[in-house]
C-alpha cells in the first residue's frame, strides 16, 4: 500500500527588529503570493494587553502563559492598516494593541519562555494552503525552521525611529524622535538579548538592509528571493 506524504503548505518568513518595515512587506508579499498572513507580534501584543487589563503581574510567568493559552482571538481581514483586525472575545482591540505602551508590554511578555511556548502551536496553525507569510522575530529560527523562504530585514535604529515618527505624526499621534529612538533601542536590546528565541537571522535567511531602499525595492528583492526558491506570485 502506498502512502502519500503531503508536504506542508509553503511558508515565507519575514523577521527583523522593530520598525524595519516587516509588516508592510509581509502584507504586500501575502497579497502578491495569494498567501495567508501571520502577524505574530500581534499575538504578543494581545497577551500583554489582556494581562494588563486583567491586572496580571508581568513577573508571573504561569499567569501570563495561561493568558496566552486561553487567548480568545479572531483575526478578521479588512482593508485598513493593520490589514488584519484583532478581536478579543468579539471586541475589536486592534488600535489598543498598536500603541507604544502596548509594544513595550509585548516585548516584556515575549521574554517569558512559557508565553512563547504557549503561542507556538497557535502560530503553526496558520500554516494552511495555499501558503503563509509569517512576520515576527523568530519565524525563521523557531516557529517555521523548515520555511521555504526566509527573509531578515535590517535598517539602522535612526532610520527605524524616523519611519515610526513619520507614521505616528501622519496618524495625528504626538511623538518625539528622541523618545522613539530610545524606545526602539531599548526594545532591540530586550528582543536580542533574551535567553529564549532571541532576535537573530536564521542561518539560511537572506538579509536585506532596507535603510536606503523603497518599499517597492524591498518587495522586488523579496519576490526575487522567493522565486529562486520556487515560491511564485499568483498568475
Residues that bind ligand DC (CB under 6 A): 18, 40-41, 44-45, 103, 106-107, 110, 136-138, 187, 191
Instruction: Tell me whether residue 110 or residue 133 sits nearer to ligand DC (CB atom).
Output: 110
Report the C-alpha gap between 52 and 37 in whole angstroms: 26
Set of cell numbers at residue 53: 487589563
- Closest alpha carbon to 68 in 19, 127, 108, 9: 108
Task: Return the residue nearest ligand DC (CB atom).
Answer: 41
Q: Minimum CB separation from ligand DC for residue 108, in Å?
A: 8
Q: Minimum CB separation from ligand DC for residue 191, in Å?
A: 5
Instruction: Tell me whether residue 10 or residue 103 sits nearer to ligand DC (CB atom).
Output: 103
* Residue 9: half-sphere exposure toward Cβ, Cα within 13 Å: 19
Instruction: Tell me whether residue 193 or residue 232 sits nearer to ligand DC (CB atom).
Output: 193
Report the C-alpha gap between 170 and 80 in whole angstroms: 15
- Closest alpha carbon to 151 in 194, 196, 213: 213
SS3 206: strand
Instruction: Tell me whether residue 26 or residue 231 sits nearer to ligand DC (CB atom).
Output: 26
The residue with cell 487567548 is 71
The residue with cell 502596548 is 102
Task: List alpha helices for 146-214, DSSP H.
Answer: 157-170, 177-193
Instruction: Tell me whether residue 45 or residue 150 sits nearer to ligand DC (CB atom).
Output: 45
Amino acid at each position: 500500500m502506498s502512502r502519500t506524504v503531503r508536504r506542508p503548505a509553503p511558508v515565507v518568513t519575514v523577521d527583523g527588529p522593530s520598525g524595519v518595515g516587516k509588516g508592510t512587506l509581509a502584507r504586500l508579499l501575502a497579497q502578491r503570493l495569494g498567501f495567508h498572513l501571520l502577524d505574530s507580534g500581534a499575538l504578543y501584543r494581545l497577551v500583554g494587553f489582556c494581562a494588563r487589563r486583567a491586572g496580571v503581574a508581568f513577573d508571573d510567568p504561569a499567569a501570563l502563559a495561561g493568558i496566552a493559552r486561553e487567548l480568545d482571538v479572531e483575526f478578521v481581514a479588512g482593508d485598513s492598516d493593520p490589514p488584519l483586525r484583532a478581536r478579543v472575545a468579539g471586541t475589536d482591540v486592534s488600535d489598543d494593541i498598536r500603541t507604544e505602551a502596548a509594544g513595550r508590554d509585548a516585548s516584556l511578555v515575549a521574554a517569558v519562555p512559557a508565553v512563547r511556548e504557549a503561542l507556538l502551536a497557535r502560530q503553526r496553525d496558520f500554516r494552511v494552503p495555499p501558503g503563509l507569510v509569517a512576520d515576527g522575530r523568530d519565524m525563521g529560527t523557531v516557529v517555521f525552521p523548515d520555511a521555504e523562504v526566509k527573509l531578515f530585514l535590517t535598517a539602522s535604529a535612526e532610520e527605524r525611529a524616523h519611519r515610526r515618527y513619520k507614521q505616528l505624526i501622519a496618524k495625528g499621534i504626538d511623538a518625539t524622535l528622541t523618545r522613539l529612538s530610545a524606545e526602539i533601542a531599548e526594545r532591540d536590546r530586550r528582543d536580542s538579548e533574551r535567553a529564549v528565541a532571541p532576535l537573530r537571522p536564521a542561518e539560511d535567511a537572506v538579509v536585506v538592509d532596507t535603510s536606503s531602499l523603497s518599499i517597492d525595492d524591498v518587495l522586488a528583492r523579496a519576490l526575487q528571493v522567493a522565486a529562486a526558491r520556487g515560491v511564485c506570485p499568483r498568475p
